């Protein structure tokens, strides 16, 4: 019984409460939500808030409703908006953060002050950021008045109230688009594997890509998710929200990049100079590759923030503006205003899956790396 | 069993003998509406001095926050003794169908409220012949506001029907007014839709719609959507960024000519903007609704299983009384639901509204919870938003009909 030494017992006793709490309040509740999302709780108003509601299991009907139901166009637009929002938010934060970090890395005067200024927005909550930017982006307010400072006409861009969208596509083409994108990724994987001489990998990836492409070209065009075409695209009203979100979080990426830049040993830079690298060449071939892991971590953190964003949108554009709406907002309204608890749980589950897509590969790669080091 | 009954009886007499009860009132009347609620509480305390009143107000416009808190408390088994809800289907479709409210018909009979509240109103707050809440105040939703001086300057008058409105709109646009009508964020557009629909369908068809006798896919309703689309063509493009107050400001400044808003706008014009009725601001019934009063009301109900039922019933008695309604409404800027209220206490606008209340046909408002349950209303906002973007009348009607089926309207 060497395994049950006193130390071991102690450690188990001390850890048990948190394991139980996490099991119940995180994983138990996730399981409960997933179960609720497969029931009809809330479809019948008489049962939604009853003392002892009758709830029936209906399988994946709620998910089917969300993706193909006539009434759920708002949700589908929100999914598209989330993808665009995440893309521009991450690109904006990485770009601006890297730019600021590169400037600060040159040791300008008053560097500490600048660092504080750039990092400051991160200390605010999204609600505060949202309220400030809501004022700034009023049709006759802040940003639109800026040209008058230089004697120009005030701008008229409707930042948060635009109803225009660009890059529209028909939701019915979604299977085709998804399959094509995945196939292209697989082809790239196959090409890379071929380059490194991994024959089995090349073969598997190439066959999968061919199958997907074949499906996309032969089957997908005949699939009809909705009775009528339903265009979705990038709503211009989101631009205002993206600006506010980038303003809030780019200080964080700046701090990450600055730490990375300071962590690059001086010898490496000197060695690069000796080898004849100019400023540009040094950044391109020495510094940026070393910053790649930082970009990855930043993308993970920013990615999950943007997928589940709620408060910023609520504060800036209100809950009822479908041009700026996001799934988290819809989940709240569906559950707590329309009392459609099952449908709300289904939206929540889809959000969880989206976040898992971002987080899980990162976690596995981290664990693998740790094992490799150990 | 007998013993338990005895104990219960003893406890009941003990509490009524002590009479030092408690009463918790749950509402979203904070801020501007706080003093009106205070007046009611004061009246209650005069009558029942030994009761400790707990004012559990959850602030937030139109009860968005309060309703979420209420849901948590009801589902958690600790309902407040009496809570505020918009009178009509918002309460009935949410809490009454779930069997969570007590029937108040007895109270209506014993207090004689059947006679002092208009019949149309009693019908709106009842299902199956039972009344479920006590209305404290009445607001009118179908009012068109304008600036009399500006209208004279432009040489137009307030239009009486929606076709007339559209010609007036063209005239104003020709004079260089970009947006003759001003609308604000989503709910104010639903508010406008309601007035357009009643103005084109007529009051009777509007009632049929909510009784399930007229389908949303009926050509008449599709036509109402088409008219709504044309009306929206007269409106400002930056709508979703504006609160209703900001929209009202544009009437005063002359950026727009008309605004359809509930009569809380009168309070905003007189109290906040210090304008005189009839000169600083003018009003008319929304086009096509001249003899119709589209009403919404705040009301209180009695949830099942409250701890202080007797005190809550007394509270409801105060709310429905003439003294209670006359204390509350002049401060709130609404009119009394009772037809025998003391009009001398009200301002110029409210007097005209009270006169209409007694003589007009009364129908319920959609966006303010009188005719449709919450589940319909909330999703209908999305339908309006999609319609404004796509202008597809048939699609919007079909979507609304699906919503109606799902929410059990007309069952």
Rounded to 5°, the CA angle B85-B90-B95 comes to 80
- CA B4 to mean position of chain CA atoms: 45
Quick check: A254 contacting B, CB < 8 Å? no
pLDDT over threshold 90, residue A371: no
Instruction: Note the pLDDT of residue B14.
Output: 45
Cα dist from B234 to B24, B108, B259, B262, B336, whole Å: 47, 45, 11, 20, 35
Quick check: B94 contacting A, CB < 8 Å? yes
H or E element: which one contains B207?
helix B203-211
Instruction: Note the pLDDT of residue B143.
Output: 95
Beta bridge mates, B24:
B54
Rounded to 5°, the CA angle B185-B191-B193 comes to 105
**How are the residues of chain B apportioned to helix, strand and coil, as percentages rounded to the nearest 5?**
55, 15, 30
pLDDT, tens only, B88-98: 998 998 899 98
pLDDT over 90, % of chain B = 64
Cα dist from B113 to A84, B44, B116, B280, B357, whole Å: 57, 19, 5, 38, 16
Q: Are residues A338 and B94, on separate chains, in Cβ contact within 8 Å?
A: no
Q: Collapsing DSSP states into helix, strand and coil, what is residue A179?
A: helix
- Residues 6 or more apart whose CB falls under 8 angstroms from that of B213 comprise B410
Instruction: Note the pLDDT of residue B61.
Output: 63
Instruction: Note the pLDDT of residue B197.
Output: 96
Instruction: Note the pLDDT of residue A372.
Output: 62
Instruction: Note the pLDDT of residue B31.
Output: 75
Q: Collapsing DSSP states into helix, strand and coil, what is residue B104?
A: coil
Instruction: Note the pLDDT of residue B18.
Output: 46
Count CB pairs under 8 A between chains A and B. 107
Q: Are residues B379 and A338, on separate chains, in Cβ contact within 8 Å?
A: yes
- Residues 6 or more apart whose CB falls under 8 angstroms from that of A278 comprise none
Instruction: Note the pLDDT of residue B221.
Output: 95
Q: Which of B60, B238, B250, B402 to mutate to test the interface with A (most CBs of A within 10 A)?
A: B238
> What is the average pLDDT value for chain A, to the nearest integer?
88
Instruction: Note the pLDDT of residue B282.
Output: 94
Q: What are phi and psi of B215, to 5 degrees?
A: -85, 150
Instruction: Note the pLDDT of residue B17.
Output: 41
Q: Are residues A320 and B385, on separate chains, in Cβ contact within 8 Å?
A: yes
Residue A88 exposure: Cα atoms within 13 Å on the Cβ side: 17
pLDDT, tens only, A65-113: 999 888 888 999 999 999 999 999 999 999 999 999 999 988 888 888 9
Distance of alpha carbon A232 from alpha carbon B114, whole angstroms = 52
pLDDT range class, residue B179, cuts 50, 70, 90? very high
Q: Which residues of A touch B407 (CB under 8 A)?
A: 45
**A297 exposure class (CB count in 10 Å sphere: 0-12, 13-18, 19+):** middle
Average pLDDT over residues B335-344: 89
Q: Are residues A338 and B386, on separate chains, in Cβ contact within 8 Å?
A: no
pTM, to two decimals:
0.84
Residue A342: closest CA among A23, A48, A101, A84: A48
Interface of B with A in 3-62 (CB under 8 A): none
pLDDT range class, residue B7, cuts 50, 70, 90? low
Structure-model confidence comparison of residues B14 and A155, the more confident one:
A155
Token match 């041009």: residue?
A323
Instruction: Note the pLDDT of residue A317.
Output: 86
- Write b or e for each residue in B324-360: b if 16 or more Cβ atoms lie within 10 A of its Cβ, otherwise e: bbbbbbbbbbbbbbbeebeeeebeebbebbbebbeeb
Q: Are residues A158 and B237, on separate chains, in Cβ contact within 8 Å?
A: yes
Q: Which residues of A touch B375 (CB under 8 A)?
A: 42, 45, 48, 338-340
**How are the residues of chain A apportioned to helix, strand and coil, as percentages rounded to the nearest 5?**
75, 5, 20
Residue B264: closest CA among B138, B137, B139: B139
pLDDT range class, residue B66, cuts 50, 70, 90? confident
Distance of alpha carbon B113 from alpha carbon B133, whole angstroms = 12
Instruction: Note the pLDDT of residue A222.
Output: 79
Structure-model confidence comparison of residues A37 and A338, the more confident one:
A37
- CA A222 to mean position of chain CA atoms: 31
Distance of alpha carbon A142 from alpha carbon A255, whole angstroms = 28
Q: How far is B301 from chain A (nearest CA, A)?
A: 16
Q: Are residues A161 and B240, on separate chains, in Cβ contact within 8 Å?
A: yes
Structure-model confidence comparison of residues A264 and A225, the more confident one:
A264
Chain A residue closest in CA terms to B184: A161
Q: Which residues of A touch B402 (CB under 8 A)?
A: 70-71
DSSP label at B345? G
Q: Which residues of A touch B187 (CB under 8 A)?
A: 320
Q: Which residues of A touch B379 (CB under 8 A)?
A: 71, 338
Instruction: Note the pLDDT of residue B4.
Output: 54
Average pLDDT over residues B394-398: 92
Residue A339: closest CA among A36, A48, A52, A37: A48
Structure-model confidence comparison of residues A122 and A277, the more confident one:
A122
Distance of alpha carbon B362 from alpha carbon B298, whole angstroms = 16
Average pLDDT over residues A289-310: 91
Average pLDDT over residues B274-294: 93
DSSP label at B60? S
pLDDT, tens only, A303-358: 989 998 999 999 998 888 888 999 999 999 998 888 899 999 999 999 999 999 88
Q: Are residues B100 and A46, on separate chains, in Cβ contact within 8 Å?
A: no
Instruction: Note the pLDDT of residue B154.
Output: 93
Tokens of A117: 């200024």
Instruction: Note the pLDDT of residue B243.
Output: 84
DSSP label at B239? G
Distance of alpha carbon B133 from alpha carbon B104, whole angstroms = 7
Q: Residues B162, B196: contact at Cβ < 8 Å? A: yes
pLDDT range class, residue A139, cuts 50, 70, 90? confident
- CA B246 to mean position of chain CA atoms: 20
Q: How far is B332 from chain A (nearest CA, A)?
A: 26
DSSP label at A108? -
Token match 């400051």: residue?
A120
Instruction: Note the pLDDT of residue A144.
Output: 84
Interface of B with A in 98-157 (CB under 8 A): 98-100
- Residues 6 or more apart whose CB falls under 8 angstroms from that of A121 comprise A129, A247, A248, A249, A250, A251
pLDDT over 70, % of chain B = 94
**A18 exposure class (CB count in 10 Å sphere: 0-12, 13-18, 19+):** exposed
Q: Are residues A320 and B71, on separate chains, in Cβ contact within 8 Å?
A: no
Instruction: Note the pLDDT of residue B394.
Output: 92
Average pLDDT over residues B112-138: 91
Instruction: Note the pLDDT of residue A193.
Output: 86
Q: Are residues B67 and A337, on separate chains, in Cβ contact within 8 Å?
A: yes
Is the C-alpha dihedral spanning B236, B241, B243, B246 positive or negative?
negative
Interface of A with B in 60-89 (CB under 8 A): 70-71, 73-74
Q: Provide the Cα torsion B81, B83, B89, B93; round to 10°.
A: -50
């Amino acid at each position: 019984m060497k395994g049950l030494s006193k130390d071991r017992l102690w450690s188990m006793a001390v850890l048990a409460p948190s394991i139980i709490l996490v099991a119940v309040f995180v994983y138990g509740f996730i399981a409960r939500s997933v179960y609720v999302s497969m029931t009809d709780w809330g479809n019948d108003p008489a049962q939604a808030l009853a003392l002892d509601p009758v709830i029936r299991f209906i399988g994946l009907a709620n998910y089917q409703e969300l993706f193909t139901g006539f009434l759920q166009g708002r949700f589908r637009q929100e999914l598209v908006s989330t993808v665009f929002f995440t893309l521009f938010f991450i690109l904006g934060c990485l770009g601006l953060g890297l730019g600021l970090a590169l400037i600060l890395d040159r040791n300008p005067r008053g560097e500490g002050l600048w660092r504080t200024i750039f990092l400051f927005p991160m200390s605010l909550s999204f609600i505060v950021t949202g309220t400030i930017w809501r004022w700034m982006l009023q049709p006759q307010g802040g940003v639109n008045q800026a040209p008058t400072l230089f004697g120009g006409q005030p701008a008229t861009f409707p930042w948060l109230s635009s109803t225009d969208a660009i890059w529209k596509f028909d939701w019915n083409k979604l299977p085709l688009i998804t399959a094509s994108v995945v196939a292209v990724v697989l082809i790239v994987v196959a090409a890379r594997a071929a380059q490194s001489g991994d024959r089995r990998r090349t073969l598997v990836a190439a066959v999968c890509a061919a199958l997907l492409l074949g499906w996309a070209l032969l089957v997908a065009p005949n699939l009809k998710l909705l009775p009528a075409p339903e265009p979705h695209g990038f709503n211009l009203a989101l631009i205002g929200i993206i600006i506010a979100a980038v303003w809030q979080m780019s200080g964080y990426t700046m701090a990450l990049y600055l730490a990375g830049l300071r962590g690059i040993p001086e010898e490496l830079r000197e060695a690069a100079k000796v080898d004849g690298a100019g400023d540009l060449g040094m950044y391109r071939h020495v510094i940026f590759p070393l910053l790649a892991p930082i970009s990855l971590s930043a993308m993970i953190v920013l990615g999950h923030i943007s997928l589940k964003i709620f408060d910023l949108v609520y504060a800036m554009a209100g809950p009822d503006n479908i041009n700026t709406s996001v799934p988290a907002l819809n989940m709240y309204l569906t559950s707590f205003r329309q009392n459609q608890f099952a449908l709300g749980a289904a939206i929540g589950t889809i959000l969880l899956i989206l976040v898992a897509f971002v987080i899980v590969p990162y976690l596995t790669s981290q664990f693998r790396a740790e094992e490799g080091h150990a | 069993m007998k013993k338990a009954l005895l104990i219960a009886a003893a406890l009941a007499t003990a509490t009524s003998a002590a009479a030092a009860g408690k009463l918790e009132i749950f509402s979203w009347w904070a801020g501007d509406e706080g003093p009106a609620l205070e007046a009611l509480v004061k009246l209650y305390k005069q009558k029942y001095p030994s009761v400790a009143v707990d004012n559990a107000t959850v602030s937030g416009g139109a009860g968005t926050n309060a309703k979420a808190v209420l849901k948590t408390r009801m589902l958690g088994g600790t309902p407040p003794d009496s809570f505020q809800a918009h009178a009509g289907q918002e309460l009935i479709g949410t809490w009454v169908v779930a069997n969570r409210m007590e029937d108040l018909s007895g109270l209506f009979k014993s207090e004689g409220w059947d006679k002092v509240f208009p019949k149309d109103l009693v019908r709106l707050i009842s299902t199956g012949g039972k009344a479920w809440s006590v209305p404290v105040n009445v607001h009118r939703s179908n009012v068109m506001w304008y600036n009399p001086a500006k209208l004279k300057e432009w040489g137009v008058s307030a239009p009486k029907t929606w076709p007339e409105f559209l010609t007036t709109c063209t005239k104003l646009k020709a004079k260089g007014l970009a947006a003759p009508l001003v609308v604000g964020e989503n709910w104010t557009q639903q508010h406008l839709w309601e007035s357009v629909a009643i103005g084109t369908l007529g009051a009777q068809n509007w009632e049929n719609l909510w009784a399930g006798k007229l389908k949303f896919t009926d050509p008449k309703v599709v036509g109402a959507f088409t008219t709504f689309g044309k009306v929206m063509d007269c409106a400002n493009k930056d709508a979703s960024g504006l609160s209703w107050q900001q929209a009202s400001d544009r009437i005063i400044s002359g950026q727009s000519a008309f605004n359809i808003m509930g009569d809380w706008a009168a309070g905003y014009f007189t109290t906040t903007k210090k304008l005189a009725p009839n000169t600083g601001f003018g009003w008319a019934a929304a086009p096509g609704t001249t003899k119709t009063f589209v009403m919404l009301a705040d009301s209180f109900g009695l949830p099942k299983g409250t701890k202080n039922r007797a005190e809550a019933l007394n509270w409801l008695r105060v709310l429905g009384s003439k003294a209670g309604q006359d204390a509350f409404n002049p401060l709130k800027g609404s009119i009394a639901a009772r037809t025998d209220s003391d009009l001398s206490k009200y301002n110029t606008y409210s007097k005209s509204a009270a006169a209409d209340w007694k003589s007009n046909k009364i129908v319920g408002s959609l966006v303010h919870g009188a005719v449709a349950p919450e589940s319909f209303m909330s999703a209908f906002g999305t339908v309006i938003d999609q319609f404004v973007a796509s202008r597809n009348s048939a699609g919007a009607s079909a979507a609304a009909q699906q919503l109606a089926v799902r929410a059990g309207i007309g069952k």
